[in-house]
Structures are given as C-alpha cells and as structure tokens.
Structure 1
Amino acid sequence: MNTRTSHAQVVNELGRAIIAGDYPVGTTLPGDVELAARFKVSRTVLREAMKTLAAKGLVVPRARIGTRVTPNTQWNLFDSDILTWYFAVGVNEEFLLHLSEVRLGFEPHAAALAARHASEADISQMMRLAVAMGDPDHSAESLAVADLKFHLSVLEASRNPFLRTLGSLIEAALVGAFKLSSPAADRGKISDVAASHIRIVEEIDRRDEDGARRAMENVIRVGRERVVQSLREGK
C-alpha cells in the first residue's frame, strides 16, 4: 500500500469512527504507537492523517495529552468527507432537514443567477443533462451521477465562484440521499425527476429568475420528502 493510500485509509477509518461515536467528544484517541501498529503505517503517515482530521475540525492535538476529539459544533459539515461519513454511519430525519435547509439557502439563488448569466451553450448543456436523467435504464448510482452533473452545471452557469465551491456539499448530499432512497427503482418516478429538472432549465431559458428559483426549490423539497419518507418507513 502506497503512502497516499495509507493516509486516506487512516483518515477514512478514524474519521468515520469519530462520526459514529466510537470515540466520543472529549475523549483522547489512542497513542501514535498503537494507531501506527493498528493501521500498519509509519508514524509520519499517521501524523499527516491527524493533521487532515484536525483541518476538518474533528480533533485537536494537545501537548503531553494527546489528540482529543472536538465538540461536533467545531466539525466542518461543509467537508465532503464528513458528510459522506455521516451518511455511512446513518443519518436521521433532523440531519436531512438541516442539510436540505442549507441547499435551499443557496441552490435556488444559483438557479436565479443562472437565469441571469447563463449562455446559450450553458442552457443547452443543462437541458441535455436534465433530459438524460429520464433514461429508464438508470441504476441508483448512475441516476445519482446524472443528478449531480445537472446541479453542478447550474452552479457553473451562475457565474459565482463562491457558489461553485459548494459543489462538494451537493455531491455528498445527493450521493448519500440516493443511497437511502432512489427514484431509479420506479420508472415513473425517474420520468418525474427528469421533468422537474427540465422545468428548471426552461425557466432559466426564459430568463425568469423567480421561476428558476421556485423550480429548484421544488426539486430539493421533493427529494427531501422522498428520503424522509424512506427513513420513516424503515423505522
């Protein structure tokens, strides 16, 4: 295993364990010697992994004390790895509602900006991506990828560099949500999903900023309701 792969493995396993509560807030992680032996990595790789976890806000090193797990209020929830770990260990309805509120805070505005700034080439690309979502042969994974490409294209068309940097949050949110509940299992739902995304592009093409905003809000809310319903049925 090369150094980069080893580093990623340590970060992934420790990060996921922290999110899962295996190492509760305020506790100190095992020492370097123990962790290096557990993961079969050098102490150099381990230290770099700890720096990565610290940059994500999950841990803080303390001299002569060790590396301590920080309160979750300090965790960077915009970090795509952290969101992925949350979905991996299991999310609840409250978490999904919070996440959708964040998306509702910026994606509808991105759609409105796209209605103002998108070029004809942008609009053609968004329409191709929206139509492609209607392929009845989509698997849950391929539909999630198609959905992600569409939403990233809207961010790109907004011409706002700050909004474009939020793509990793959308990626983690969509991939995680589709793992919990995907419309790909129902061809009728696939058609509905495609139609709702096509509506966004139509509003952008009309240069209707309010219409684009409302169409995007509808897509996010419908997706949230689908996943929440799946969670409730699974209880």
Structure 2
Amino acid sequence: MARQSLVGQVADELLDRIITGEFPPGATVPGEHELSARHEVSRMTVREAMKTLQAQRILSVERGRGTFVNPLNRWASLEAVLRAASEGKNEAETSVQLIELRRMLETGACELAAGRIRDEDIQALYSHVDSMRAAHEVNDVAAFVEADLAFHDLILHASENVFVSVLFEPLHQVLQKRRTQTSAVREIQEHAIGHHQKIAEALESRDPARSREAMDNHMQQTLDDLKNLVLEAK
C-alpha cells in the first residue's frame, strides 16, 4: 500500500506541474533519474507513476525521443480534465468548451423534459427565476448562481434520463466556478433571467421543439456574453 501511495503522489505532483503550464502540451517531461531525485523515491516508483499518466493518455512515450505531454483533448481521465479546467491557466478555452458541452447535452435534455416534466417542477422553475431576479436586485452573485444552477439541475433530472444527470454531476464544481465569474457582470444576469423565463414558459407549454430552441438560444447568448463581456474585457 505504501508503494502505491508513493506512486500516486508522484503522479499527482507531475500532473499538477502539467496543469499549471510548467510542462505544456508537446513538452518533454523530466526523466526517471531527475524525478526520482526530486521526490526521493526509487526509479521504479517513478516508472509506475509515469505509466499511470500514460494509461490516462496524459503522457505519451516516443521511443528514442522521450515522454511528452499530450494535448488536453486526448486525455482519457475525466478527473484529470476537470482538474485542468478548475486549476489550469487556459480559462478562456475551457469556458468556451464547457458551454459547447452544455449546449450539446442541455438542449436535448430540455427537449426530453418538455414531455416528462411535472407541474410542480414547472412551478419550481418559476421560483428559481424569481430567486434570480431577487438576487439580481441586490447583486448577490452567490445566490444568483445557486438559483441558476438549481434551475438547470431540475431540467436535467426532469428529462428522466439517468445518464444525463450522472454525466453532469462531476462538472458541478467547475460549472459553479465559471458561473460565479460570468454572473458577476450585471448585464449577463439580466440576459440570463430573460432566457430562463422563456425556457420555463416553453417547458410549461410541453412543446419539445420550442423547449429545445429556448435552451439553445440561452446557450448562444451565454457564449456571446462570455466572449463579448468577459473575455474581451480582460
């Protein structure tokens, strides 16, 4: 068990160095000798740690050349990708890609929910929108984000597709962080309130096509706001 723990520690620290940009995509990582000296562990421990990251496709070995960092889109570990999204430096690209993912999944979930959502869930959606308005009035960003996330979470569960809600659960922490950044802009809050109201109305109509379109319009507005009001402002 002790050896396995050491392997995990070495792998985690090397992953941290990759995520923080010390070893960007395409860079060569240090060899076994250098890493074993840094961590004061055997070369066998380092070799096992490197194999762990290779199995997750974070690293790739080219015989005769060395061990290289793969681009993020080749990584096979969701946990590692989420760590990169939460702690990495390339926030702009990560934020855009998160919205792209949400757009693919949430528009479909909203379409499904239109035919399955309960009356009490519709009322809960309107309640979340009211909470967003109240938070906007006093500029309570934390309360606004909480209501925003609850609104979307309700729709995911109302789709009654178990895979959708399970897929989104690991993303919660990253989404909360990104929502807090964007929702700090009052104009973005105003746009979000309007779109959430329209989504709730579309779901109340029980019209799948209208519901999908309402969510898609919201995702497009979210992407536009991110690019125009957040990223360009930096």
- TM more than 0.5: yes
Deviation at 1:227, TM superposition (A): 1.3
**Aligned partner letter, 1:111:** C
Identity over aligned residues, as a percent? 30
Q: Deviations over 1:38-61 (max 9, x none)?
A: 679999x98997677556532358
Q: Is the 8 A contact 2:11 2:53 kept in 1?
A: no
Which residue does the alignment assign to 1:58? 58
SS of alignment partner, residue 176 of structure 2: helix
Corresponding position: 1:107 with 2:102: no
SS of alignment partner, residue 24 of structure 2: coil
Which residue does the alignment assign to 2:90? 90
Q: Deviations over 1:128-179 (max 9, x none)?
A: 3232222233543443333222212211110112222231475366335335
Cα distance in 2, alignment partners of residues 54 and 112 from structure 1: 39
- The TM-score normalised by the length of structure 1 is 0.70
Q: 1:31 to 1:193 in 2, by over 3 A?
A: same
Which residue does the alignment assign to 1:22? 22
Cα distance in 1, alignment partners of residues 71 and 106 from structure 2: 29
Deviation at 1:89, TM superposition (A): 0.9
Q: List gaps (5 residues or longer) in structure 2.
A: none
- The TM-score normalised by the length of structure 2 is 0.70
**Aligned partner letter, 1:144:** V
Cα distance in 2, alignment partners of residues 40 and 184 from structure 1: 45
Which residue does the alignment assign to 2:197? 198
**Aligned partner letter, 1:159:** E
Q: 1:189 to 1:201 in 2, by over 3 A?
A: same
**RMSD between superposed Cα atoms in Å:** 4.0
Which moves more between the two structures, 134-143 or 144-153?
134-143
Q: Is the 8 A contact 1:19 1:85 kept in 2?
A: yes
Q: Is the 8 A contact 2:202 2:211 kept in 1?
A: yes
Deviation at 1:210, TM superposition (A): 1.4
Q: Is the 8 A contact 1:143 1:184 kept in 2?
A: no
Cα distance in 1, alignment partners of residues 90 and 144 from structure 2: 21
Cα distance in 1, alignment partners of residues 174 and 95 from structure 2: 9
Cα distance in 2, alignment partners of residues 147 and 162 from structure 1: 21
Which residue does the alignment assign to 2:120? 121
Which residue does the alignment assign to 1:69? 69
Cα distance in 1, alignment partners of residues 38 and 175 from structure 2: 33
Deviation at 1:81, TM superposition (A): 5.0
Cα distance in 1, alignment partners of residues 222 and 126 from structure 2: 20
Cα distance in 1, alignment partners of residues 151 and 9 from structure 2: 28
Which residue does the alignment assign to 2:150? 149
Deviation at 1:98, TM superposition (A): 4.0
Cα distance in 1, alignment partners of residues 58 and 225 from structure 2: 30
SS of alignment partner, residue 125 of structure 1: helix
**Aligned partner letter, 2:215:** M
SS of alignment partner, residue 115 of structure 2: helix
Q: 1:57 to 1:222 in 2, by over 3 A?
A: same
Q: Is the 8 A contact 1:111 1:216 kept in 2?
A: yes
Which residue does the alignment assign to 1:223? 222
